[in-house]
């Protein structure tokens, strides 16, 4: 019998682009759970094909796994900044406490580009205390603190201390009870709407701005980000020597947090083979970067890049027309006066 009274509750967010990666992430979690504990998986998803949805369901069809699907309100993120590899799906995590049943006081959020190497129960049993979230400091030295070059642009205006650490939002233990009570989703969305021009790292930037100083630190091994591998010594990072050696030699979770993903072109991550080890536990088993697939990915990337540029150009033209119209109305009003 499985332990259904105290399940591990995890949440992932996706659109059609990350369905294969999501299934691989969750399968790595399932494969490393050694007890009879039930795992409840909430998938916040939009615009995914029925074929990919069926593949996800098939991949996660295990006796101790319960899947729940949730649909986000994308209109809430109409002003959110997106890029070539960051879509609006990245912002879904902000809505997690609002979308999940109130009976859950905490959940674990996972990006769809992480691979677990150890039992997630250890993370689940970590005391969240009075923090909004538990997270790992960003391992890119340019984003390790709010005052870093890629930190929060207006941290001084917000009254945040320069030495306040900046967390990576790829793995979060969320205190959903406290989050709901303090209406944090609305506060973060308001920040996005009011500071679009200041935001650097998308949803992560907004969460750090609102939650600054009110989050707890996890052992960095729970989110070993790709950036750590570009440094030759702990002295080049924000980590201690011991922490650096731990994440390099004994990571709990591998996070393919750079633009280059194992299933795409150009990935040189030293642990990229782990992704293919776990993808073979999914309905995408056997997926590899063959020559034909590499050509197709290249063509697809070019098409997507042109599509994004066209969308941005249309938005820019629309804003330009709106500005010109407003100026013309002012001239007519002054002339009429």
pLDDT given for residue 284 in this prediction: 97
The per-residue b/e assignment along 171-186, b for 16 or more CB within 10 angstroms, e otherwise, is bbbbbbebbeeeebbe
The predicted structure's pLDDT at residue 126: 96
Distances (CA, A) of 1 to 4, 10, 63, 157: 9, 20, 10, 54
Could you tell me which residue, 298 or 141, shows the higher pLDDT? Answer: 141
Query: Checking DSSP bridges between strand 107-110 and strand 133-137, what pairing results, if any?
Result: unpaired
Residue 100: the pLDDT is: 95
The yes/no answer on whether domain 3-289 falls in CATH 3.40.50.700 is no
pLDDT band with cut points at 50, 70 and 90 for residue 260? confident
Res. 318 pLDDT band, cuts 50 70 90: low
Report how far residue 149's alpha carbon sits from residue 200's, in angstroms, rounded to the nearest whole number. Answer: 10
**Mean pLDDT of the region 150-157:** 87
Residue 311 has pLDDT above 70, yes or no: no
- What pLDDT sits at residue 5? 73
Range with the poorest average pLDDT among 121-130, 182-191, 310-319: 310-319
pLDDT above 50 for 259: yes
Residues 73-94 have pLDDT tens digits of 877 877 666 666 677 788 889 9
**Cα–Cα distance between 19 and 32 in angstroms, integer?**
20
Average pLDDT in the 191-217 region? Answer: 85
- 3-class secondary structure for 43-105? EEECCCCHHHHHHHHHHCCCCCEEEEEECCCHHHHCCCCCCCCCCHHHHHHHHHHHHCCCCCC
pLDDT value at residue 337: 47
Q: Element (H or E) spanning 275, and its range?
A: helix 272-279
Q: How many CB atoms lie within 10 A of CB 297?
A: 15
pLDDT in tens, 25-48: 999 999 999 888 999 999 999 889
- 277-293 pLDDT tens trace: 999 999 999 999 887 88
Q: What is the DSSP string of 250-291?
A: S-SEEE--SS--TTSTT---TTHHHHHHHHTTSTTTT----H
pLDDT single digits (tens) 227-250: 999 999 999 999 999 999 999 999
In the chain, where are the structural domains located? 3-289, 290-337
Q: Which of 181, 34, 224 is nearest to 118 (CA)?
A: 34
Alpha helices by DSSP H, listed for 74-221, are 96-99, 121-124, 176-181, 184-194, 202-211
């Amino acid at each position: 019998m499985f332990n259904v009274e105290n399940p591990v509750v995890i949440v992932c967010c996706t659109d059609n682009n990350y369905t294969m990666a999501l299934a691989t992430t969750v399968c790595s979690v399932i494969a490393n759970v050694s007890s009879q504990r039930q795992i409840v998986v909430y998938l916040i998803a939009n615009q995914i094909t029925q074929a990919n949805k069926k593949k996800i369901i098939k991949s996660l069809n295990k006796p101790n796994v319960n899947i729940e699907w949730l649909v986000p309100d994308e209109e809430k993120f109409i002003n959110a900044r997106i890029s070539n590899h960051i879509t609006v799906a990245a912002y879904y995590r902000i809505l997690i406490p609002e979308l999940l049943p109130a009976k859950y006081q905490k959940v674990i959020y996972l990006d769809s580009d992480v691979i677990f190497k150890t039992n997630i129960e250890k993370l689940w049993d970590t005391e969240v205390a009075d923090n909004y979230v538990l997270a790992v400091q960003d391992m890119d030295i340019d984003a390790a603190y709010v005052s870093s070059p890629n930190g929060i642009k207006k941290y001084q205006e917000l009254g945040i201390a320069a030495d306040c650490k900046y967390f990576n939002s790829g793995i979060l233990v969320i205190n959903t009870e406290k989050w709901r009570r303090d209406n944090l989703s609305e506060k973060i969305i308001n920040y996005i709407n009011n500071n679009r021009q200041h935001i650097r790292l998308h949803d992560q930037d907004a969460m750090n701005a609102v939650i600054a100083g009110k989050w707890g630190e996890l052992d960095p091994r729970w989110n070993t980000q790709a950036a750590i591998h570009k440094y030759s010594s702990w002295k080049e990072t924000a980590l201690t020597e011991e922490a650096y050696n731990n994440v390099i030699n004994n990571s709990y979770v591998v996070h393919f947090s750079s633009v280059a993903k194992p299933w795409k072109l150009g990935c040189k991550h030293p642990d990229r083979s782990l992704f293919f080890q776990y993808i073979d536990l999914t309905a995408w088993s056997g997926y590899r970067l063959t020559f034909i697939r590499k050509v197709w990915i290249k063509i697809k990337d070019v098409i997507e890049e042109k599509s994004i540029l066209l969308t941005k150009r249309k938005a820019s033209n629309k804003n330009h027309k709106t500005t010109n119209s407003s100026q013309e109305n002012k001239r007519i009003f002054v002339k009429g006066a």
